[in-house]
Amino acid sequence: MPDVARILRPVADVALPTRRLDAWILDVDGVLLASPHERAWREALHGIADPARLTTAMYQACVAGRSRLDGAVAALTALGVLDVGRIGPAYAAAKQRRLEEIFAMEGVVAFPDALRLVRRLRAAGWPIAAASSSRNAESMMRTVALDPGGTLFDAFSVIVCGRNLSHGKPDPEIFLLAAAELGVDRTRCIVVEDAPAGIAAALAGGMATLGVARVDDADGLRAAGAERVVASLDEVIIPKRATSTTHRPAA
């Protein structure tokens, strides 16, 4: 089981824990897919608040990674909207309708570096899980071709997306479930996330963390506790997965 410190190049001044890894857990929206969630949340604000006020920075801090209703309430609260208990569910529903419209018209695009990472992980023999709060993640992943005859959805050992969980991120429930379904110790998983809420959830679960700064938000990911932050997943070193618990990678 390779040491986590040997997997990530030192692109952030944060010490990594000394641990071994057995599996990878990847968030979907913002890590694997450039999905239209942020756009849908913004456009659904018409008639509630000025859509332009929901900036990318606010979206990353308040909405990204959270469940639909939690994200709606957090965004409305940050925007100073009153009566969020009543408006929140309606806003969440409007966002979902708009997301489905955009997806039907335009589809979804995968990040090329994410597809390369998935291929490298599979080639090296790593168990991988996709974990997302979004109930749309599975259908979107099924539209992305990865290998001849296969899709991005097919590439994962475990898919934990859109489940009816008791708690959303930053609670670690989704990642703990992914580790359990992978059959690995949670402390031997590394989570790849693009959102502060996701980083916080992984840390709360005792997992190693890798932040990917898709929108020039490395500082926010580090502030959330990400142990390493990269601008591209091509920066990540993928060793072959060890089959012996006594294996240590060569220096």
Same domain, 159 and 48: no
* Residue-number span of the structural domain to which 50 is assigned: 36-106
Same domain, 137 and 231: yes
CB of 32 closer than 8 Å to CB of 111? yes
For the chain, what is the mean pLDDT? 88
Same domain, 94 and 119: no
Give the pLDDT confidence of 48-73 residue by residue, as tens digits. Answer: 999 999 999 999 889 988 889 999 99
Same domain, 163 and 120: yes
Same domain, 131 and 229: yes
Tokens 């974990």 -> residue? 131
The enclosing domain of 133 has a CATH number of: 3.40.50.1000
Mean pLDDT of 14-41: 83
Backbone angles phi, psi at 23, to 5 degrees: -160, 160
pLDDT of residue 147: 81
Q: Kindly state whether residue 245 falls inside one of the protein's structural domains.
A: no
Same domain, 173 and 58: no
pLDDT of residue 18: 53
Same domain, 93 and 155: no
Mean pLDDT of 5-25: 59
Mean pLDDT of 247-251: 28
Same domain, 13 and 43: no
Name, in order, each residue with C-beta under 8 angstroms of 221's C-beta and a sequence gap of 6 or more: 193, 194, 196, 199, 211, 213, 229
pLDDT bin (cut points 50, 70, 90) of residue 2 is low
Same domain, 148 and 228: yes
The enclosing domain of 88 has a CATH number of: 1.10.150.240
Give the pLDDT confidence of 118-170 residue by residue, as tens digits. Answer: 999 999 999 999 999 888 899 999 999 998 889 999 999 999 997 878 888 89
Q: Kindly state whether residue 247 falls inside one of the protein's structural domains.
A: no
Whether the model pTM is above 0.75:
yes
Domain termination residue (choose one: 46, 81, 106): 106
Domain count, the chain: 2
